[in-house]
Amino acid sequence: SPQVMVIDDIGRTTEVKAARTVKQRGIRMIASAHGDLQKLIDNPELNGLVGGVEMVTIGDKMAQNEAKKHNMFSKIRAQRVREPVFDVVIEVQHSKHNEWRISTDVASNVDAILRGQKPKVHR
C-alpha cells in the first residue's frame, strides 16, 4: 500500500469520505481543495475535510457565559464534529500566488472560526 498520496482538487462528498478513509489507514496525504479555511467550513460538501460542522443546543448557563464574552446570546452554536482530515492547511491567495496563509493547527483554527474569532495563521 502507498505511504503518501497526492490528490488534486477534492470537491465532492465521496472524495471527502475517501480522504478520511485514507487518513484512518495512516497514509500521508497532500491534497488541494478550492477555498480558504472559512469557505471549507461553510461548504457542506467539503467541511468534512476540516472536521465537519454541526449545530448544537447549549444550556442556559453556558449561553449566558458566552454572551458575556461575545456580546451575543444564543443557545444554538456551530461546533466541529471530529478531527480534521488534515493537520496543516496552506491557503494560496488567488491573486497572490507568492503569499500563503498557513494553519499549523487546523482543529484549533476551525474551532476559533466557529466561535467568531480569528484563526492563528503564519504568513
Q: Which residues contact 26 (CB under 8 A, 6 or more apart)?
A: none
Percent of the residues in the chain that have a pLDDT greater than 70, as a whole number:
99
Tell me: pLDDT of 71 over 80. no
pLDDT digits (tens, 9 = 90+) for 93-114: 878 878 899 999 999 999 999 9
Cα separation, 86 vs 104, whole angstroms: 10
Q: For residue 116, which of 65, 79, 62 has the smallest C-alpha distance?
A: 79
38 grid coordinates: 472559512
Higher pLDDT, 56 or 12: 12
**Nearest CA-CA partner of 114 in 42, 59, 43, 57:** 42
Q: What is the pTM of this model?
A: 0.84
Q: What is the pLDDT of residue 104?
A: 97
pLDDT band at 62 (very low <50, low <70, confident <90, very high): confident
pLDDT band at 57 (very low <50, low <70, confident <90, very high): confident
90/70: higher pLDDT: 90
* Virtual torsion, Cα 26, 48, 78, 115, nearest 10 deg: 60
